[in-house]
Amino acid sequence: MIYNAPDRKGRFGPYGGAYIPEILVPELDALRVAFEESWQDAEFHVQYQDLLKTYVGRPTALTPANRLSEALGGGHILLKREDLCHTGAHKINNTIGQILLARKMGKTRIIAETGAGQHGVATATVAARFGLQCVVYMGVEDTERQALNVARMQLLGAEVRPVTSGSQTLKDATNEAIRDWVSNPTDTFYIIGSVVGPHPYPMMVRSFHNVIGEEVKRQLNELTDRNTPDVLVACVGGGSNAIGLFYPFINHPEVQMFGVEAAGEGLDGRHAATLTRGAMGVLHGAMSYLLQDDDGQIELAHSISAGLDYPGVGPEHSWLKDLGRVTYLTETDKNALAGVELLSRTEGIIPALETAHAIAALKKIVPQVAPDSIIVVNCSGRGDKDMQTIMDNL
Amino acid sequence: MNSRLSTRLLTLKSNGEKAMGIFLTSGFPSPEATNLLLDAIDEGGADFIELGMPHSDPLAEGLPIQHSSTCALKAGITMQDTLEAAAQFRQRSETPLLLMGYINPILRFGAVQFCERAAAAGVDGLIIPDLPPQEASLMRKHMQKYGLNLVFLVAPNTPTERMKEIDRLSDGFVYCVTITGLTGTGLAGRLDTINSYLKRAREMITHNPLLVGFGIRTYDNACDLSKHTDGFIVGSAVIKEVERLWACPELSMVERGQLVARFVRSLKYGPEK
């Protein structure tokens, strides 16, 4: 079977769709049309590729991690270095793409939600680059935990609005961003930060991160004479860096894929393992796996990594899980911290806590695969932003 | 579909009277208050009542209704509790009753089971703000099977053709949202724009009664905005009034109920002379 989700209604199997207030229906239609036109437009691609090259710093390196491979007792591990992107994570691939659409659609005001602040910074950055007004919603708890990123966004000229509703974290920041959009549909463009939300966002954000996997294909060919790796590994919160790496290989059944969720304090305690422990439902406009109680109220997630601390997940991951195409594992806060240390000591790369979940999972994955397997890990972000948390916990 | 709701709206229309719908969050300000408040609203002359099923993530709501939902959930209100409150109300009154809530708790309950239970409780219909018609075909089928009306919404930015389509799909009435915004948003300075949009909506929406809501706080608002519609809905203003009365320790529960009834009556008939 050839994988070609989503369908015209934005469905990945039973997942996805657009469960949104009527006010957003015409706006999402307009966005879908603008995206589809742009994606077919050679000129848009020239502009987008040029910015990825001259502003983001693409292509990012594919780094052989020999000492890490040795430490784990096998495999040829390669790191896709999204941590080298401008602003320190893959997030900017998407914000660049979306801000080009915002300009094309004549929008003058940009809004975004952020948890750890990485997507907020990536949005504030491109808004500054194009001189557009920018408002970032951030849970008040996160503004305190991630004060440095708040300062970065403000320096970039964005207004950071602390969100005091609900749980005061990413989930509620997303609610507030949607409420802002409902209230200002004509002039405002909502740059969503992951492969979540109503159609066309999951498909569109995937397209803008697709460059990650496409580069891997090319770079692998240069490094090894092969076009496909044996194994792909990426962390999954909303799941954008994972989809970006996986998507170009989905129709290559010989490529094994692992997504790694945050098990927080452990699966029996507080965690963010939405696919592993969640149930089907609707959050932020899409049908997907969710952390929810028996009455359909959304539960709070927990992870030491603010970027994985989300009770939902991209609808495409839900479908890939049900199809059995991607295997989803979990790693605890503790293992993630050990992952930070492992990559720092073996390769001289301090990863973000999100990324560290993928590094930690290699201990489970390497023994399962053939000893000479080529394993590409998405090194989705750098760890500078997490130094305080790392120092407090290591 | 002939229902308690459409019969009521039709009767009002033929009498040349505007319909008033009143929203209340189930379990707010306390689980015990729901029965008293439903009766007070009924007593105050509501032509139908929307009972809100609290949700942790109410996307389309402004602060008052968000706050009321958080409060009710903290007090432990469940979908089951709301259905029971509806069933008890139905034993006391024939006033049409709609449930208003977000799709996730309904799906979690089980769409079919929910419709079955709601119908058995004497509920007349549902308003689900995050279920636009293109996602609603299955839900609509279940609801029709149990004789429940599924009310859809239109907004100022809804294209004309889509308004006609929504009119075709909506049951009971079409909910005309005053502004592109959240529940409870102030309407000051926007009445002219809203009225010209309501006029357009009236031309497009011909099968269903048209009720206007979001941001209506006073009798004057209600009169102004009912010119081109069959009636109006008030939510946040009622929630705020309830909150205010429940913060007055000198008032007994009975007095609070009477004052809510008076407030509701004033929305339809103007302040008491």
Q: What is the pLDDT of residues A89-113, one digit of tens each?
A: 999 999 999 999 999 999 999 999 9
Position A276 pLDDT exceeds 80: yes
**Which residues does chain A have within 8 Å of residue B104's beta carbon, measured at their own beta carbons?**
281-283, 290, 292, 296, 298
Position B3 pLDDT exceeds 90: no
Per-state percent for chain A, helix, strand, coil, to nearest 5:
50, 20, 30
Tokens representing A349 are 């790369």
Which of the residues B17, B50, B84, B94 is marked catalytic? B50
- Sign of the alpha-carbon torsion through B249, B250, B253, B256: negative
- B39-48: average pLDDT: 98
Task: Say if CB A192 and CB A169 are below 8 A apart.
Answer: no
Residues 181-210 of B with CB under 8 A from A: 181-182, 185
**Residue A54 carries which DSSP code?**
I
Chain length of chain B: 273
Name which of A21, A280, A296 is nearest B59 (Cβ-Cβ): A21
Beta strands in A81-225 (DSSP E): 109-114, 133-139, 159-163, 188-190
Please report the pLDDT score of residue A86 as a whole number: 98
**Contacts of residue B161, Cβ cutoff 8 Å, sequence gap at least 6:** none
| Cα A131 from Cα A109, distance rounded (Å) | 10
CA A198 to chain centre: 16
Of B161-165, B186-190, B220-224, the range with the lowest mean pLDDT is B186-190
Whether A305 is catalytic: no
| Cα A249 from Cα B268, distance rounded (Å) | 62
Residues of A with CB under 8 A from a CB of B: 9, 17-23, 25-27, 165-166, 171-172, 175, 178-179, 182-186, 279-285, 290, 292, 294-298
Task: Say if CB B64 and CB B184 are below 8 A apart.
Answer: yes
Pairing of strands A188-190, A11-12: unpaired
Whether A113 is catalytic: yes
Task: Say if CB B93 and CB B49 are below 8 A apart.
Answer: no
**Residue A345 carries which DSSP code?**
H
Pairing of strands B125-127, B149-154: parallel
Q: Which of A145-149, A302-306, A341-345 has the highest mean pLDDT?
A: A341-345
Q: Give yes or no for B109 touching A (CB within 8 A).
A: yes
Count Cα neighbours of A336 within 13 Å in the Cβ-side half-sphere. Answer: 34
Chain length of chain A: 394
Q: Nearest CA of chain B to the CA of A61: how many Å? A: 40
Whether A183 is catalytic: no
Position B221 pLDDT exceeds 60: yes
Under DSSP, is residue A236 helix (H, G, I), strand (E, B) or coil? coil
With CB atoms and an 8 Å threshold, state whether B154 touches A290: no
**Which residues does chain B have within 8 Å of residue A295's beta carbon, measured at their own beta carbons?**
78-79, 105, 108-109
Question: What confidence tier does A233 reach under pLDDT thresholds 50, 70, 90?
Answer: very high
Mutate to test the interface with A, among B109, B135, B152, B167 (most CBs of A within 10 A): B135
Q: Which residues pair with A289 in a beta bridge?
A: A280
CA A339 to chain centre: 19
**Which residues does chain B have within 8 Å of residue A18's beta carbon, measured at their own beta carbons?**
132, 134-135
Predicted TM-score (pTM) of the model is: 0.97
User: A148 versus B241: which is more confidently predicted?
Assistant: B241
Task: Say if CB A192 and CB A200 are below 8 A apart.
Answer: no
Position A377 pLDDT exceeds 90: yes
Residue pLDDT, tens place only, A44-53:
999 999 999 9
Under DSSP, is residue B182 helix (H, G, I), strand (E, B) or coil? coil
Position B1 pLDDT exceeds 70: no
**Which residues does chain B have within 8 Å of residue A279's beta carbon, measured at their own beta carbons?**
108
Size of interface A-B (CB pairs under 8 A): 110
| Cα A392 from Cα B53, distance rounded (Å) | 42
Name which of A166, A285, A296 is nearest B105 (Cβ-Cβ): A296
Q: Which residues pair with A286 in a beta bridge?
A: A283
Name which of A21, A280, A294 is nearest B60 (Cβ-Cβ): A21
